[in-house]
Amino acid sequence: MEITKICCIGAGYVGGPTMAVIAQKCPNIQVTVVDLNEQRIKDWNDPNTDNIPIYEPGLAEIVAEARGRNLFFSTEVEKAIDEAQVIFISVNTPTKTYGKGKGMAADLKYIELCARQIAKVAKQNKIVVEKSTLPVRTAEAIKSILDNTGNGVQFQILSNPEFLAEGTAVTDLLNPDRILIGGDTTPEGQDAINALVNVYANWVDKTKILKTNVWSSELSKLTANAFLAQRISSINAMSELCEKTGADVNEVAKAIGMDSRIGSKFLKASVGFGGSCFQKDILNLVYIAKSYGLNEVADYWEQVIIMNDHQKRRFSNKIVQTLYNTVADKKITFLGWAFKKDTNDTRESAAIYVADDLINEQAKISVYDPKVSRNKMLSDLDYLQTRSVEENSKALSIFEDAYKACEGAHAIAILTEWDEFTTYDWQKIYDSMHKPAFLFDGRNILNAKELESIGFIYKGIGS
């Protein structure tokens, strides 16, 4: 089967970049990304590609090349489903906020809605690809819906999880470590797998494309994120011990990272991990383990989340304690709000929770982030429902200039590792602040000795 038309349901952080790269690399395939959010589709179609809704280095250029040629963004969901041979499901799978599994299990309502819509519309055989991060055996539920509520159409369900790191998503898509495709072991299932393999083979070496059964593919995504998050929580746990013993966590991380059995990646001590995947996927893994009665397995992975939450609280507590046990009416400047550099994604960002803690202590928070809007910052705080919208708006001041944000501050806290922060004139910033001037480096990206020579009281993570 030669694929010539692809539809992707969901124009978010996964669907948008993934389909843009497929369209660029496969000019013979028509790729249509659909979403019910009219504003989001309008933004993807903005003639100025710098205004597309997702910031990723290199993404705007790829969209500009392929859009209108063989890449299309539309709200006509049913039309795209009807025409496509392959349908990617890239909708949100947030953690449930209600009912059984609240706070842990993945909320699959959007996945089910997609499956029912595909079943209603499809009049020809389709390949349905899970791109969203899902619990193991979700494909079984999707297939049941498609087979029992459809029009006698034959569906093949594939799992093709994304392994993108925000901030490097385009690079990850163009040069992936691996492409994972899981499907049925039947001849029809293998044909569907091979059809998708041939799409990726336009630019990915086939030795990097792994074929598995669908359950292994689904579980591999959760496992990969759990292992990466575990490494971050592990080094953050050691950072607290380093501070108590006089060791330097950066030196410890370098020493163990040179061990080829361990490696150096994801050993950067920080204020904690954020993003849409790590916490959600680990909580999902915990819920799955508990549902099978594997309580010790669940407890093990839950501790990764507990450590991450502790690191965020520890950082905000350190700010309060260092500033003489009170931050009431003191101006604390945050440099960075996104959960990591080179993205405008703020989901589960440490900055949100540190700000929330400090506002509870009646601090005045000023924020500068090069890519996150004022409305997004305020909505992040409002989502916590800790206080009223008016109170959040009064407590949070957002600046478009970092130097202005730092003027008159009692302390600066670096919450995102944006490269530009390392290039600032820190002497100028110091001169504009209240004295003593404190700098809390939540990402360990600055040179402590240089800042201390200027006059800052520097507080990093784990040193």
Q: Catalytic residue numbers? A: 162, 221, 277
Show the tokens assigned to 98. Answer: 């209600």
**In sequence order, what E strands does 301-408 have?**
331-335, 364-368, 396-399
Dist CA 292 CA 286 (whole Å): 10
Alpha-carbon distances, residue 187 vs 190, 229, 416, 441, 446 (angstroms): 5, 37, 48, 56, 56
Q: Which helix or strand (DSSP H or E) is residue 18 part of? A: helix 15-25
Burial class of 271 by CB neighbour count within 10 A (0 to 12, 13 to 18, 19+) = buried
Q: How far apart are the first and last CA of the chain?
A: 58
Q: What is the largest CA-CA distance in the chain?
A: 74
Dist CA 57 CA 290 (whole Å): 39
Task: Tell me how far the alpha carbon of residue 48 is from its chain's centroid.
Answer: 25
Q: Give the residue ranges of DSSP H helices in 159-277.
A: 169-174, 187-200, 214-245, 249-257
Radius of gyration of the chain (CA): 24
Parallel/antiparallel/unpaired status of strands 126-130 and 155-159: parallel
Name beta bridge partners: 457. 438
- Cβ atoms within 10 Å of 93's Cβ, excluding its own: 24
- Cβ atoms within 10 Å of 361's Cβ, excluding its own: 17
Q: Is 275 left (phi over 0), alpha (psi -120 to 50) or beta?
A: left
Dist CA 232 CA 220 (whole Å): 19
Dist CA 348 CA 285 (whole Å): 18
Dist CA 38 CA 390 (whole Å): 28
Closest to 133 (Cα-Cα) out of 291, 358, 351, 283: 283
Q: Which residues of 379-412 are buried (b: 16+ CB within 10 A; e: fewer)?
A: ebbeeeeeeeeeebeebbbbbeebeebbbebbbb
